[in-house]
Chain A
């Protein structure tokens, strides 16, 4: 067990990637570690010819992953779009790990992301001492990816200011990064491409310009279709979290996962699972990712403050924290849900009591 808090995808799944590489007979695009078929298998899971089991990283529609991988083999960039917590960054990390064997070329988009962090910057000490030269250049992950022919990830593309976003246009269409100061350019090696993620829920984001938009193929990652799919995602991620954190707690029972996922799905869709009762939706997105973190939280609670087995009161605080984002509106929504939906459910008495006890 390494001492890192979190390992990169290519480190955690190194063995899977290796086996896939060995078994891979498909044609690999230049500088790809795996063939496109194997990349898809890596993402959605499957059994290899020698019986080696690949765990699914993305649970959902296989066709979406095929579109994503196919896009990366063309010269178009990939834009993963969707609600917060629909595994956009997760998919992008694994795509980069499988294709380039490296998921660390990453630019985090924020309102303060400047052009220097996308194109290149200068080492001013050196610039003053020697004048403009290649040595005075500070390369960004984008520039490094272009030189090495690797996949570069840009997180939260729509948070970057519109003027800075457009710096990507030349990179994506000409596949080169001009450096006019030195009268030179960095030309991308085959295998270079960009995976950007963006969410469509937040307000105040910078819409992509149409010029930039048409250099991306868009794949919308949906919220999990069925409750079973969602439960599976939560279960898998929570188990791996328990392992990584070396928690002494038992793996959470499926019953608890099902309850959390049910609460989240019901509040998200505005109707109970049997379709009979209408419920109000809170302001938060209540994504699968949040369900996972509630479970993780509960697991830690059970491990350090409880008896190691996860119970309803280990989860209550997490649930409330995830749901009540707006202290006034969401509180009413939650109370109504608690009293009208949770209370009448006989086998949910413990959840009801635990949440009531917290007094919110």
Chain B
């Protein structure tokens, strides 16, 4: 009866190979793997044709899904290979790490006691999907992942050319550490780096890759690991870490349980750092005491698809690796001398239109081999292959290398999970819809152009809008080129984080429609800000959730009624009105919205004039902006009764003596634009407002409002220009000095050509310019445009 401790490195293809070889030789009758015991029940899926790595075990609290952990596995993860081996050979396999239920509960306790614990050391990712800024999960484990250290020692016993017995290296390390005792803070660094440094490398990762990944291993590797780690654990001063102690105690307990069940050959797969702790078993009682009375929460587990991108170090994953795609290649093609890799690089380049011949590939492989020989390595590593690619295939230009890095070294591989795995109903619904609408989930982004006049495209758009409403930003709407409201451009990119978000949303409903409806309804009911609700409404309309829309309209209505702030009302209107425009294309009932917009505009018409009196400059110019927007909205709505009352309101503001001069200047302009007041009346109003009695600052403010936005009026309207010109001429020198800054401010807003034109006109003595107009219409040419217009409006030409 014996226990075999196999210390590994997470996601190390070399480790995976050694584990597999070791297990095949040993034929254990039970395999224990470092991992959450809660997930034991879903382990039988490993080996199922539908479950394709990279996948992750997602552990979450059903009551509080935000608190969740991922345990990612790639095909080349030693743990995955061990589980696969067990399932293929029909022997029991168990996870032996501290249960997530305890870990979450204990961590919660720890955090409240001692603040944030940064020493989490598994290869798990703890995700907090509520991080709104980006959809990446926050990763609490850090770089000093002690499990990363296991890597090192594999190399030790491998004695092909530099025949270093494990002991020697261990000795070296000990010496090194003895001569140069590390300061306590530095201990937190990756222990592997101590070993790498002892071997004369600066980069621990590189050292590991070169010394181990490209080597053929043997079984003694694991003994060597154990010794090296024991030496490290002895020599490096350690900060006590309760969770860490608990984990190791629990692992020992599980090993003892297996022994009690009379298993004879027990294989334990764990991070190398833990290996010595599992070899030298303390008394069972000590561990049991330690594990007594742990807090607990309820935890559910499931498989979720994962991506290589998320497995990579760059995504912030603590136990991440630099080159998942390369490891994938190493695992699947262990005998490759670089030829296959170079061929795939060449294929990639060819697909991007770069000529790459077979001769190129041959030369690149040769250069890589020579380089590795020069560096004293038995086989080309990724560095050599990359340098050869750069030198031979790219002619030294590094630009194309980023392509290789993205597509091959990291790779955009995404895993798959069989449909039959028990999943939350909302997840199932989303997957079904994705399948029905032919929107496959990809790790790399994909652009999608939707024509909303087509049935399926409209459905896709609705689906994407709903997901976005739910906070699943799978699709990002991008600016669409060309005109028309019937086109939508989306960029789709799936992230594994959405899995947690979906579980979290499970409480809202079992289908996308249900969940989205309840989600926005609740959000709208909770909000007291009119602008917030109307923004939400703008998002909800394209998601086609009639129930939610109805509630939101009611909510807006109530808020509008209760709101005394006319500015808030005015801010909301443009958004609402643009919704009614969308309504036609999307075939949604926009009536509801236009009704509410109408009633709100009526409210505004009543309370706007008093709001324009007795206000400071800043709020006055804000109101001018809003009046402009509202005026556009009223034009858009094209409801006569509304227009009449709006123009009436403008008239009231214009004629009210108390109105802020900027505002009344602007309303005068608007009324003149709409031909509500005649040209003569306009001249009269202008002279009236500009009269010297008002004082220069007031008249200038009025002029600013009057001329707001466009100087074209001054260029075209001779009478008006004459009025302004006369007024300026009539100013006394002192008055002119006073108004000059204000005039400048007004004229500075005009475009350069406008200002030049005005200047030219005034210099030329207000002679009206001859305007050329072409009135003749070439009907034949015009006919050519007709089909295009039909197309634009979605009409069929017969």
Q: Which residues of A contact B (CB under 8 A)?
A: 36-37, 40, 63, 66-67, 69-71, 73-74, 76, 79, 81, 210, 213-214, 217-220
- Known A36-B374, A217-B391; judge A74-B359 contact (CB<8 A): no
- Judged by a CB distance under 8 angstroms, whether B631 is at the interface is no
Please determine whether A218 and B374 come into contact, CB atoms closer than 8 angstroms.
Answer: no
- Judged by a CB distance under 8 angstroms, whether B357 is at the interface is yes
CA distance A36 to B371 in the complex (A): 10
Please determine whether B395 and A218 come into contact, CB atoms closer than 8 angstroms.
Answer: yes
Question: Which residues of A are found within 8 Å of B360, using beta-carbon distances?
Answer: 214
- Known A67-B391, A76-B367; judge A219-B374 contact (CB<8 A): no
Please determine whether B370 and A217 come into contact, CB atoms closer than 8 angstroms.
Answer: no
Question: Which residues of B are found within 8 Å of A37, using beta-carbon distances?
Answer: 374
CA distance A144 to B357 in the complex (A): 32
- Known A76-B363, A214-B357; judge A70-B396 contact (CB<8 A): no
Per-residue 0/1 for B329-373: is the Cβ within 8 Å of any A Cβ (1 yes, 0 no)?
A: 000000000000000000000000001010110010011001101
Please determine whether B367 and A81 come into contact, CB atoms closer than 8 angstroms.
Answer: no
The B interface, classified by DSSP as helix, strand, loop or mixed, is: helix
CA distance A34 to B397 in the complex (A): 30
- Judged by a CB distance under 8 angstroms, whether B763 is at the interface is no
Closest to A208 in B: B395
B169 to chain A, nearest CB (A): 22
B363 touches which of A63, A74, A219, A220 (Cβ 8 Å): A74
Most A CB contacts (10 A, CB to CB) among B391, B392, B395, B397 go to B391
Q: Identify 24 residue pairs between A and B in the complex whose beta-carbon atoms are under 8 Å apart, listed by A's number.
A: A36-B374, A40-B374, A63-B383, A67-B371, A67-B391, A70-B367, A70-B370, A70-B371, A71-B367, A71-B370, A73-B370, A73-B374, A74-B363, A74-B370, A76-B363, A76-B366, A76-B367, A213-B395, A214-B363, A217-B392, A218-B391, A218-B394, A220-B396, A220-B398
Question: Which residues of A are found within 8 Å of B598, using beta-carbon distances?
Answer: none
CA distance A334 to B532 in the complex (A): 54
B708 to chain A, nearest CB (A): 36
Please determine whether A69 and B363 come into contact, CB atoms closer than 8 angstroms.
Answer: no
Question: Which residues of A are found within 8 Å of B397, using beta-carbon distances?
Answer: 220
Please determine whether A63 and B370 come into contact, CB atoms closer than 8 angstroms.
Answer: no
Closest to B356 in A: A214
Question: Which residues of B are found within 8 Å of A70, using beta-carbon distances?
Answer: 367, 370-371, 373-374
B434 to chain A, nearest CB (A): 45
Please determine whether B366 and A66 come into contact, CB atoms closer than 8 angstroms.
Answer: no
CA distance A262 to B357 in the complex (A): 44
- Judged by a CB distance under 8 angstroms, whether B375 is at the interface is yes
Question: Which residues of B are found within 8 Å of A81, using beta-carbon distances?
Answer: 395-396
Question: Which residues of A are found within 8 Å of B29, using beta-carbon distances?
Answer: none
Q: Which residues of B contact A (CB under 8 A)?
A: 355, 357, 359-360, 363, 366-367, 370-371, 373-375, 383, 387-388, 391-392, 394-398
Question: Which residues of A are found within 8 Å of B398, using beta-carbon distances?
Answer: 220
Please determine whether B396 and A66 come into contact, CB atoms closer than 8 angstroms.
Answer: no
Question: Which residues of B are found within 8 Å of A76, using beta-carbon distances?
Answer: 363, 366-367, 392
CA distance A76 to B355 in the complex (A): 19
Most B CB contacts (10 A, CB to CB) among A40, A66, A81, A217 go to A217
CA distance A219 to B392 in the complex (A): 9
- Known A74-B366, A214-B357, A214-B360; judge A66-B395 contact (CB<8 A): no
CA distance A315 to B733 in the complex (A): 59
B68 to chain A, nearest CB (A): 41
CA distance A217 to B397 in the complex (A): 12
Question: Which residues of A are found within 8 Å of B373, using beta-carbon distances?
Answer: 70
Question: Which residues of B are found within 8 Å of A214, using beta-carbon distances?
Answer: 357, 359-360, 363
B77 to chain A, nearest CB (A): 30
**Minimum-distance CB pairs A-B, first 7:** A218-B396, A220-B396, A70-B370, A70-B371, A217-B391, A218-B395, A36-B374
CA distance A67 to B389 in the complex (A): 11
Closest to A217 in B: B391
A196 to chain B, nearest CB (A): 13
CA distance A214 to B396 in the complex (A): 12
Question: Which residues of A are found within 8 Å of B370, using beta-carbon distances?
Answer: 70-71, 73-74
- Known A74-B363, A74-B366, A74-B370; judge A219-B357 contact (CB<8 A): no
Closest to B357 in A: A214
CA distance A74 to B370 in the complex (A): 7
Closest to A200 in B: B396
Please determine whether A67 and B367 come into contact, CB atoms closer than 8 angstroms.
Answer: yes
CA distance A71 to B394 in the complex (A): 15
Question: Which residues of B are found within 8 Å of A67, using beta-carbon distances?
Answer: 367, 371, 387-388, 391
- Known A218-B395, A218-B396, A220-B396; judge A66-B359 contact (CB<8 A): no
B396 touches which of A36, A73, A219 (Cβ 8 Å): A219
Question: Which residues of A are found within 8 Å of B367, using beta-carbon distances?
Answer: 67, 70-71, 74, 76, 217
B399 to chain A, nearest CB (A): 11
B380 to chain A, nearest CB (A): 11
CA distance A73 to B396 in the complex (A): 19
A69 touches which of B366, B374, B387 (Cβ 8 Å): B374
Closest to A68 in B: B391
Please determine whether A66 and B391 come into contact, CB atoms closer than 8 angstroms.
Answer: no
CA distance A210 to B396 in the complex (A): 14
CA distance A36 to B398 in the complex (A): 25
Please determine whether A71 and B396 come into contact, CB atoms closer than 8 angstroms.
Answer: no
B239 to chain A, nearest CB (A): 35
Closest to B391 in A: A217
Please determine whether A66 and B374 come into contact, CB atoms closer than 8 angstroms.
Answer: yes
Question: Which residues of B are found within 8 Å of A210, using beta-carbon distances?
Answer: 355
CA distance A219 to B371 in the complex (A): 14
Question: Which residues of A are found within 8 Å of B359, using beta-carbon distances?
Answer: 214
B375 touches which of A66, A213, A220 (Cβ 8 Å): A66
Question: Which residues of B are found within 8 Å of A69, using beta-carbon distances?
Answer: 374
Question: Which residues of A are found within 8 Å of B375, using beta-carbon distances?
Answer: 66
Question: Which residues of A are found within 8 Å of B363, using beta-carbon distances?
Answer: 74, 76, 214, 217
A201 to chain B, nearest CB (A): 14
CA distance A71 to B371 in the complex (A): 8
CA distance A213 to B391 in the complex (A): 11
Question: Which residues of B are found within 8 Å of A40, using beta-carbon distances?
Answer: 374
Question: Which residues of A are found within 8 Å of B394, using beta-carbon distances?
Answer: 218
CA distance A220 to B396 in the complex (A): 6
CA distance A40 to B363 in the complex (A): 21
CA distance A277 to B387 in the complex (A): 36
Most B CB contacts (10 A, CB to CB) among A36, A70, A74, A213 go to A70
Question: Which residues of A are found within 8 Å of B366, using beta-carbon distances?
Answer: 74, 76
CA distance A81 to B391 in the complex (A): 11
B391 touches which of A36, A73, A219 (Cβ 8 Å): A219
Question: Which residues of B are found within 8 Å of A218, using beta-carbon distances?
Answer: 391-392, 394-396
Question: Which residues of B are found within 8 Å of A217, using beta-carbon distances?
Answer: 363, 367, 391-392
CA distance A36 to B376 in the complex (A): 11
Question: Which residues of B are found within 8 Å of A79, using beta-carbon distances?
Answer: 396
CA distance A36 to B375 in the complex (A): 10
A84 to chain B, nearest CB (A): 16
CA distance A341 to B371 in the complex (A): 45
Question: Which residues of B are found within 8 Å of A220, using beta-carbon distances?
Answer: 396-398
A257 to chain B, nearest CB (A): 28
Please determine whether B374 and A63 come into contact, CB atoms closer than 8 angstroms.
Answer: no
CA distance A218 to B388 in the complex (A): 10
Question: Which residues of B are found within 8 Å of A219, using beta-carbon distances?
Answer: 391, 396
CA distance A70 to B397 in the complex (A): 19
CA distance A66 to B391 in the complex (A): 12
CA distance A43 to B359 in the complex (A): 30
Most A CB contacts (10 A, CB to CB) among B360, B374, B375 go to B374
Question: Which residues of B are found within 8 Å of A74, using beta-carbon distances?
Answer: 363, 366-367, 370
A237 to chain B, nearest CB (A): 25
A218 to chain B, nearest CB (A): 4
Given A70-B373, A217-B363, 20 more pairs with CB closer than 8 A: A36-B374, A40-B374, A63-B383, A66-B371, A66-B374, A67-B367, A67-B388, A69-B374, A70-B374, A71-B370, A73-B370, A74-B366, A74-B370, A76-B363, A76-B367, A79-B396, A217-B367, A217-B391, A218-B391, A220-B396
Closest to A213 in B: B395
